[in-house]
Every structure is written in C-alpha cells, then in structure tokens.
Amino acid sequence: MDLIDDPRSGENAPEFSVSEISGAVKKTVEGAFGHVRVKGEVGRVMHARSGHLYFDIKDDRAVLGCTTWKAQVARLNVIPEEGMEIVATGRLTTFPNQSKYQMNVQDVSVAGVGALMAMLEKRKTKLAAEGLFDPARKSDIPFLPDVIGVVTSPTGAVIRDILHRLRDRFPRKVLVWPVAVQGANCAAEVTRAIEGFNAMTPGGALPRPDVLIVARGGGSIEDLWGFNEENVARAAAASDIPLISAVGHETDTTLIDYVSDRRAPTPTAAAEMAVPVRLDMLAFVNECGGRLSRGLANGMTRRADRLRDLARGLPRPERLTEDQRQRLDAASDRLDGALNRFVSTKRVALADVAGGVRPTVLSARIGEARRRTDDRARQLVPALTRKTERRREALAGVSARLRPAVVASEITRQRERTGMLGIKMSGGATQRITTARATLDGLERLRKTLGYEATLERGFAVVRSAGAVITQVDDARASDALEIQFKDGRVSLGSATGSRGAEAIVKKPSTAPKKRIKKDDTPPEQGTLL
C-alpha cells in the first residue's frame, strides 16, 4: 500500500494519517525484530483476569515492556517473577493505542544457575514465613498401609525400583499416577496428581491411598526444577494423605522436600519407609508367640506350686465341721420339748379368745350397734332439713343483691369513679411536664451563663491550635496554624510568624430558633396515661 498521498499544489511534504504512521512503524519494527532474545531482570509482573501476562524486563538504563498471551503462558517453562534474571525469546511489536513498542514473549528461561538458586531461596523464605515447613503440621507415616500411591513417570527406572523394593519387603497394593517428571508440564501434572489422590473417596471402588510417594531420579537443578514450583509445594503441604518425597539422589534437595511429611534420599529408600520387612515381622511375631507360651507355662507352674503351699497350711475338712455338727445335735435334742411348749401356749391363748366370741356375747353387741344406728337415722332427717333451709335463705339473699337494677347502679358508680381518677391523673401528668420543662429551661440558662460562649459576647475570643486551647504567646508563635473563635464563628490563620490575614471562616453558629414544645402538647414518646 502506498503511504504517500498526492501533494497539494505548492507543497512538497506528503500528508499521512495517524493510523498510516502507526501501521508503517509496526511493520518496520516487526520486520527488523521478528525474532529476538533479550536478557535482563524482571520488574513489574501483572497477571490479568483474562489470563494474559504483562511484565517488564529492565537493566540499569532501560525498561522493555513484555506481553505473553493466555495460550502462550500455558507453554512457558518458567513463569517470570519480580527480581528474576531471565532470557526472554519472542518478537518486538508496537501498541498503536499508546504509541509504545513492546515484546511479545514466547519462551522464558532463567539466566544461569545462580538466578535459579536465588529464586529458590526467595520461595523458601516465603513458604517458611507461612509456616508450611513447621514440623508440628506434618503427619506420621502409617506403619502398614493397605494402598500406596506413587506419583512418578511410568516408564522410568524409578517405578521399577519402588515396586521391586515393596515386593521384597512387604507386598502392598500400588496405584501409579503417571506424570512428567521434568519439563514444562511437570509442575502442573504433579500438582494434579497429589490433589487427585486426595480427592478419592475412602473405601470407594478405587481405594484411596494411605500414603503417597512423589519420586524421581537424579538430575541437574534444571531437570528437578518442576519440584521447586510453588504450586507443587502448596499441593504437598495441603495433602491430607501422608506424603514421602523422593526426588533426586542423596545430595539433591527440592522445595517439596521441605513441605512433605518425610523425605527419602532415594526412591528405594522411600519404599523402605512406606512398609516394614515382612520376614522381620513374622520372626518377631513367632518370637513373641514363643515368649507368650513360655510365659504362660511358667505362670501356671508358679501358681500350682503356690496353691500346693497354701493347701498344706489349711486344716482338714472334718475338723472344720466338728463344732457345727455338735451344735446341730444339741439343737435337735431341744426341738421336741420346745415344740410341745409352744403348742400348749397357743392353745391357752386360743381358749381365752374363744370365751369372748360366744353367740350370746355377739348377739348383745349386734343389738347395741343396731340401736345406735336407728337413733342416728332419726336425727339425720331434721338436721338435713335445717341445713337445706339455711342454704336456701343464703341463696335468696345473694339473688336479691344480683338484680339488674343493682348491678347497673354499681357499674355507673364505678364508671364515674374511674372518670374522676382519669381527670386527676391527666392533670397531675400535665403539671409534672410543666415543672420539668421549667427546670430544664432554668438549667439551660445556667449552662449558657456559666459557659465560655457568654464570655465571647463581651468581646473576648478563644485561640486554638490543633484542637488545643492556646494560653501562652510562645505556644502561639510555635504553632503552624491558629484558629480563633468569636461569638459569631471561627477564623483560621496561617503560621503565626509568616502568614498574614485570615483564610476562611470555618464555622458559624446556627441562628435558627429552637423548636419549643407547647405546654398543651404531649410528647410523642409519652403517650396517654389512660
């Protein structure tokens, strides 16, 4: 496209639109810097809600703005962090809306091992401050887990070493979650594996592991860097399942080693930590069984000897019952005579009682009781008649008092009495309100008389600085600003030594008349007394 318009008559310089200039600059920059690698320190970093990443690369003399789109962020091996020294690969472009140039970063790598270690130390300090390395929050490894979950590569030698070691020591069920153990996808896949094992339901169709092993063979710090990512460390710290980290060899240390519940120097050592030796346990059980059998036999022998020793000290059974047998014989000899005397005594008592219950005596007692009953019956009818008459008279008296005219008269009398009491209570309440209002007005006049505002009416003023009253000349000179209150408002002044004149009136007292309650008005909160 030709950017040069036809010049007007008499002019040699062509005219361009803003968009044409911006497009030409964009083509020039992208054509000259279509693929560049820039080394520098990461400055400001911002993660947008849309998923795009914006950051700066700087040195001691210039700053280069960088942009990584959402789809490109997912492919980055290293996410830039503030203060990190990196090598960014991408292309230069422009942003016409702000007339600025920027770099679209497609790949990020750390500039040297020293930068990696500095970033690792920064992450360790951050996580340690949050308490993720605290030994108190770490869980114990179960003694004999039923299911062991392993997070590692399914094709490497690590999983074979772990399975071989478990088979030699104590065969257990093993669930393997395959992940990439290095590269750009390592951190994300390890994080998902740890969270996925924890999300399993205990006792479900696929059993949830009792312990997790995150394992990888040895390598350089770049190869092991996926286990130094912050998301991997946080997933390991948040794991409810006890976790053993076995990343690298004896001398290799990654961030996951600090947050895991146990650290193993090698993957084989992690398998040894996870399960005990079955043959050792069988030998120990057999040894305990033999000791138990010997202990029972020795205990029975000692108790049998003790029983025989105690039996020799006991007397013969015949001697224990001799005295009791003799007492039984003596009691048997006395039993016949005692029974005869008992029967004779009861016979005499029966004869005495039988004399009082002869037929003639009983007939006399029955006749006497019948005469008393007849006398009571003859007295009962007149008594009931008299009591009924008294009740009838009392009822007639009550009925006379409850006639409609009497009741209406009583109601009228009580209504008049209630009305009089209401008038008295209303007058008393009005009088109390009037008295209280007069007292309140007197107190208000006394308050105004004793307050300092009354003094202001006579030409005096109050000087303040920062809310405090100034009474000394030295304090006024040392103050940066003064406020003077007169009777009709306040005036703010500048420094006592340099400012001249007043600024603005800060506040004037309200001159609106106060609303007074009429004497015959009843306050809304008091209501009525009736």
Q: Give the three-class secondary structure for 43.
A: strand
- From residue 31, alpha-carbon distances to 16, 89, 98, 99, 383 in Å are 21, 16, 20, 18, 138
63-67, 112-116, 177-181, 191-195, range with the lowest pLDDT: 112-116
- Give the mean model confidence (pLDDT) for residues 99-111: 87
| CA separation for the pair 90, 104 (Å, rounded) | 6
Question: Which run of H or of E encompasses 122?
Answer: helix 113-129
Q: Is the pLDDT of residue 7 over 80?
A: no
**How much is the pLDDT for 299?**
92
Domain boundaries, the chain: 18-111, 133-276, 278-312, 454-505
**Most confidently modeled of 105-119, 317-331, 340-354, 506-520?**
340-354
Q: pLDDT tens across 368-417, in order?
A: 888 888 888 888 888 888 888 888 888 887 777 777 777 788 888 888 88
Q: pLDDT tens across 460-516, in order?
A: 888 888 778 888 888 888 888 888 888 788 888 875 444 444 444 444 444 444 444
In degrees rounded to 5, what are phi and psi of residue 161?
-65, -40
> Which tokens in the block code for residue 463?
């000087």
Give percent of the chain with pLDDT exceeding 70.
89
**How much is the pLDDT for 508?**
47
Nearest-5° angle of CA 40, CA 43, CA 46? Answer: 130
Between 483 and 517, residue with greater pLDDT: 483
- From residue 498, alpha-carbon distances to 82, 461, 469 in Å are 48, 22, 21
Half-sphere exposure of 455 (CA within 13 A, CB side): 7
112 pLDDT band, cuts 50/70/90, is low
| CA separation for the pair 104, 68 (Å, rounded) | 6
Q: Is the pLDDT of residue 446 over 90?
A: no
65-74, 231-240, 248-257, 268-277, range with the lowest pLDDT: 248-257
Q: Give the three-class secondary structure for 292.
A: helix
**How much is the pLDDT for 250?**
77
Q: pLDDT tens across 182-235, in order?
A: 887 888 999 999 999 999 988 878 889 999 999 998 877 777 888 888 899 999
Q: Compute how many other C-beta atoms are within 10 angstroms of the C-beta atom of residue 37.
A: 10
Residue the block writes with tokens 């257990």: 172
166 pLDDT band, cuts 50/70/90, is very high
What one-character DSSP code corresponds to residue 102?
A: E
Q: Compute how many other C-beta atoms are within 10 angstroms of the C-beta atom of residue 110.
A: 21
Half-sphere exposure of 23 (CA within 13 A, CB side): 8
Q: Identify whether the C-beta of residue 120 lies closer than 8 Å to the C-beta of residue 252.
A: no
106-110, 332-336, 494-498, 516-520, range with the lowest pLDDT: 516-520
92-96, 272-276, 318-322, range with the lowest pLDDT: 318-322
Give percent of the chain with pLDDT exceeding 90.
25
27-31, 105-109, 337-341, 466-470, range with the lowest pLDDT: 466-470
**Residue 131 region, left (φ>0) first, then alpha (ψ -120 to 50), else beta?**
left
Does the domain at residues 133-276 carry the CATH identifier 3.40.50.261?
yes
**How much is the pLDDT for 178?**
93
- Give the mean model confidence (pLDDT) for residues 259-287: 90
**How much is the pLDDT for 474?**
84
- Domain 18-111: give its CATH code: 2.40.50.140
**How much is the pLDDT for 11?**
62
User: Average pLDDT, whole number, for the chain?
Assistant: 82
DSSP labels, 368-435 = HHHHHHHHHHHHHHHHHHHHHHHHHHHHHHHHHHT-HHHHHHHHHHHHHHHHHHHHHHHHHHHHHHHH
Between 6 and 327, residue with greater pLDDT: 327
**How much is the pLDDT for 499?**
42
What is the pTM assigned to this prediction?
0.44
72-81, 142-151, 170-179, 225-234, range with the lowest pLDDT: 72-81
Half-sphere exposure of 39 (CA within 13 A, CB side): 4
Q: Identify whether the C-beta of residue 106 lies closer than 8 Å to the C-beta of residue 71.
A: no
| CA separation for the pair 198, 442 (Å, rounded) | 78
Between 514 and 77, residue with greater pLDDT: 77
- Give the mean model confidence (pLDDT) for residues 345-359: 78
Task: Render the burial of 328-344: b for 16+ CB within 10 Å, e for the rest.
Answer: eeeeeeeeeeeeeeeee
**How much is the pLDDT for 115?**
67
53-57, 62-66, 320-324, 380-384, range with the lowest pLDDT: 320-324
Q: Is the pLDDT of residue 524 over 90?
A: no
| CA separation for the pair 529, 425 (Å, rounded) | 7
